[in-house]
Amino acid sequence: QSQFSCDHQCNAPDKWNHAHSDCEGKYQSPINIVTRKTSKDERLTPFQFDNYQQTFRGTIKNNGHSVQVGVPHLSTVSDGGLPTSYKAVQFHLHWGDNGGPGSEHTIDGEQYPMELHIVHMKHHYTDLITALSDPEGVAVLGFFYERSNSANRKYDPIINALQSIKATNGNTSLIPMSLAQLIPAEQNLTTYYRYKGSLTTPGCTEAVIWTLFENPIPLSMAQLRVFSELKFHDEKQMVGTFRPVQPLNGRQVFRSGG
C-alpha cells in the first residue's frame, strides 16, 4: 500500500490527518474500552462461526506496515448481533516492541502485547473497497494476546514463516492451517465488546462493526519477540504497529449478554 509510509510513528495521527481527511472523523478506531461504562445488550448473542475449522494454504506477507494473510472467503461469521453474515477476507496483527505493549484497543487502559484482526465483509460483496462504502460493510473480529510461559504450538505456522518475510514485500506460503486454530475455542468467545468505528489505518473509513473478545490468546515471550524482527520499508525494526486510541465522541460501547 503506497498510500502511507510507516515508521515508528506509523500511528501518529498528527502525521496523517492532513493527507487523509477521513482520519479526522468522529467515529474513529481504536478506542479504550472502559468496562464499567459499557452497556449489556441481550441482542449480542454468541457468534456462529462457519468453516473456521477449514484448513487452507495461505500466503503470509510483510506489507510494510503489518503481516497479513489473505484467507479464502468461505469462512463466515453471523449472529453475534451482526446485521447479516460476513465472510473472512484477511487477517493481520498489531504489536509492540519485543513483547511490550502493542494492542490497538485497550481495556480499562490496559494495552496488551498484540492484537489480531480478522477482517470480514458483508457476504454479498466481492471486494473490500466496495464493502467500505457501506457504513456496516466491514466487521473486524479483534483478539488480544497475553504472555504465557509455554509456547502456543498452534501458532507455529505463522511464527516459523516470519523468518522468511523479514523484509518489506517478503511473502511465503504457510503450511495448511485454519482460522479456528488461531483463536480461543468457541465456548470461550461469548464475552465480547461491540462498537462502531473505522479502519485504524488510512483512509480510516468509518465502515467497521468492531468486536473485541475478552479472552486473550496465549503466546510465549519468545513467540511475541519474533514479530519485532520484521522490517519496515526503511529497514527499521517493525515495532509499535498500533494506532493510539481515539476519542469516543459520545459513542456507546456494548457488551455481550445474549
The only residue of 107, 128, 151, 174 in contact with ligand SG4, by rule CB under 6 A: 128
Say which residue the cell 504450538 belongs to: 153
- In the complex, least distance from residue 187 CB atom to ligand SG4, rounded to whole angstroms: 25
- In the complex, least distance from residue 212 CB atom to ligand SG4, rounded to whole angstroms: 12
- 193 and 212 Cβ atoms separated by less than 8 Å: yes
H helix or E strand, kind and range, residue 219: strand 217-220
Closest CA to 211 of 143, 121, 145: 143
Nearer to Zn ion, 11 or 256 (CB): 11
Please name the amino acid found at residue 175: I
Query: Which parts of 45-74 interact with ligand SG4 (CB under 6 A)?
Result: 63, 65-66, 68
d(CA 161, CA 169): 14
Say which residue the cell 509499535 belongs to: 240
- 258 and 28 Cβ atoms separated by less than 8 Å: no
The only residue of 20, 87, 92, 120 in contact with ligand SG4, by rule CB under 6 A: 92
Q: Is 189 an interacting residue with respect to ligand SG4 (CB under 6 A)?
A: no
At residue 101, the 3 state secondary structure works out as coil
At residue 251, the 3 state secondary structure works out as coil
The only residue of 77, 121, 140, 161 in contact with ligand SG4, by rule CB under 6 A: 140
List phi, psi (to 5°) of 219: -140, 145
- In the complex, least distance from residue 102 CB atom to ligand SG4, rounded to whole angstroms: 13
Of these residues, 18, 20, 65, 94, which one is catalytic? 65
Nearer to Zn ion, 161 or 204 (CB): 204
Known catalytic membership, residue 94: no
Task: Please state, as a whole number, how many other Cβ atoms lie within 10 Å of the Cβ of residue 221.
Answer: 13
Q: Is 122 an interacting residue with respect to ligand SG4 (CB under 6 A)?
A: no
The only residue of 20, 65, 117, 194 in contact with Zn ion, by rule CB under 5 A: 117
Residues designated catalytic: 65
Q: Which residues bind Zn ion (CB under 5 A)?
A: 117
Give the residues lining the site for ligand SG4 (CB under 6 A): 1, 63, 65-66, 68, 90, 92, 117, 119, 128, 140, 199-201
